[in-house]
Amino acid sequence: MSVRRLIAEADVSTLNVSRFCREHGIGRDAFYEVRRRFAAQGEVGLVSRSRAPNRVANRTPGEVEELIIELRKQLDEIGADAGPATIHHWLGRRLDPARVPSAATIWRVLSRRGFIVADPSKAPGKRWRSFAAERANECWQIDSTHWSLADDTDVEIINAIDDCSRTAIRSAAVARCTLATSWDAIADGAASYGLPERVLSDNGKMFGPTFAANLAAVGVGLGHSRPYHPQTCGKVERFHQTQKKWLAAHDPAPTINELQHVLDEFVDYYNTQRPHRSLDRRTPHDVWHTTPRSGPASQPLGSPTVVHHNLVYDGIAWAGRYRITIGAAHNNQHATIVITGTNCHVFIDGHLVRELALNPNRANQPLHGRPGRPT
């Protein structure tokens, strides 16, 4: 201010302007600009002014910034991923592509507004070698995780995902993960997506020899991760985290049935709406439906799989129009019937009790090929 006041009060008729400017480190244009402002505005003209431009051409419009914040809050509220890349995806559905800012710009907006706080502990550590199946249904990963109901009752959630497309094949809430519940998860997933070529799991006892024999009976292989090496099943392990973030954002479920309802909503959102980072921001269903598929070794590709759950009565397990005899020893037990083409497998508590080729010309499928006492 003192230099500007000297400039304003100087007598240019006797002052060597060039020497004055050199001594004070200013330009001649600045010297005369200060004098013009003082002559026009008085003392106000001597106040320092901002050098910021009146209009920044590449500044994100205010309404777009507000939409970014709105999307961030909405995604956080439902427990979904709310990172800059995901917000960029959803902005593309609401705005003209020319108005959608980059993910880096969205990150800066969120940081400036206090929604992102740097956390060095989240910096990437050791990089693991990643792998992915080339075809849909080439490999499913299956695992279970713990959760609690509203009354703190501990339950488990069995998740199965497709290794190639990341599609959530099945997410089932159960009281306890057992051979029977794990096998039902595979069977119910097959009813929607067909049987896979192989299944990958950890070394839990429910995924032991009997589980492997069940898969082998329907032409599916089984592989296990190395003990104490969960990275092998990293896709389903990471899926647990995404799923639990969603569940934590919703009211605790009072019953397993209510929890299953929330899980079904999550699976629908995850498969059909949520852009997946590993899939170049495509949805799992989009990838699953546009990728070549694999299948079990014993069945032609594209063979539909139908699953029935029934209570055995009079030694009969019903599967649609078929009456499949399995013996009175299984009365009042729950049967899972898996039918692929004409191949039929009946399971009780996760154990294979009968395997047969259905005769499509008759409803009754007897235990023996001819009437009378078996010989």
Q: Final residue of a domain: which of 231, 266, 290?
A: 290
217 and 150 both lie in a single domain = yes
Same domain, 82 and 201: no
- Do 159 and 284 lie in one domain? The reply is yes
Q: How far apart are CA 210 and CA 274, in angstroms?
A: 36
Q: Check residue 128 and give its pLDDT.
A: 64
Q: What is the pTM of this model?
A: 0.79
Q: Assign residue 334 a region: left if phi > 0, alpha if psi is -120 to 50, beta otherwise?
A: beta
306: amino acid identity, one letter: V
- Whether 124 is in a domain gets the answer no
152 lies in the same domain as 271: yes
Residue 194 and residue 264 share a domain: yes
| Number of residues that this document lists for the chain | 375
Query: 167 and 248: one domain?
Result: yes
Does residue 251 share a domain with residue 211? yes
pLDDT of residue 54: 79
- Does a structural domain hold residue 96? yes
Per the CB < 8 A criterion, the answer to whether 301 and 294 are in contact is: yes
Assess whether 269 and 147 both reside in one domain: yes
Domain count, the chain: 4
173: β partners: 157
| Per-residue pLDDT of the chain in tens (375 residues, 90 and over written 9) | 588 888 888 888 889 999 999 988 889 998 998 899 888 888 888 888 788 887 777 788 889 999 999 999 999 999 999 999 999 999 998 898 888 999 999 999 999 999 988 777 777 666 666 788 999 999 999 999 999 999 999 999 999 999 999 999 999 999 999 999 999 999 999 999 999 999 999 999 999 999 999 999 999 999 998 888 878 899 999 999 999 999 999 999 999 999 999 999 999 999 999 999 889 889 999 999 999 989 887 776 767 889 999 999 999 999 999 999 999 999 999 999 999 988 999 999 999 999 999 999 999 999 876 666 655
Q: State whether 264 and 147 are in the same domain.
A: yes
Give the residue from 290, 318, 335 where a domain finishes: 290
Domain of residue 42 covers 2-46
- The verdict on 7 and 107 lying in the same domain is no
One domain for residues 200 and 102: no
Instruction: Give pLDDT, residue 244.
Output: 96
Q: Is the residue at 31 inside a domain?
A: yes
In a domain, 336, yes or no: yes
Can you spell out the DSSP letters for 186-245?
Answer: HHHHHHHH---SEEEE-S-GGGSHHHHHHHHHTT-EEEEPPTT-GGGGHHHHHHHHHHHH
Within a domain: residue 129?
Answer: no
- Domain-located, residue 372: no
Report if residue 121 sits inside a domain: no
Residue 373, domain member (yes or no): no
364-365 and 351-357: which strand pairing?
unpaired
Q: Summarize pLDDT for 132-178 with one digit per residue, the tens.
A: 899 999 999 999 999 999 999 999 999 999 999 999 999 999 999 99
Same domain, 286 and 189: yes
Phi and psi (nearest 5°) for 335? -110, 140
C-alpha count within 13 angstroms, C-beta hemisphere, residue 66: 3
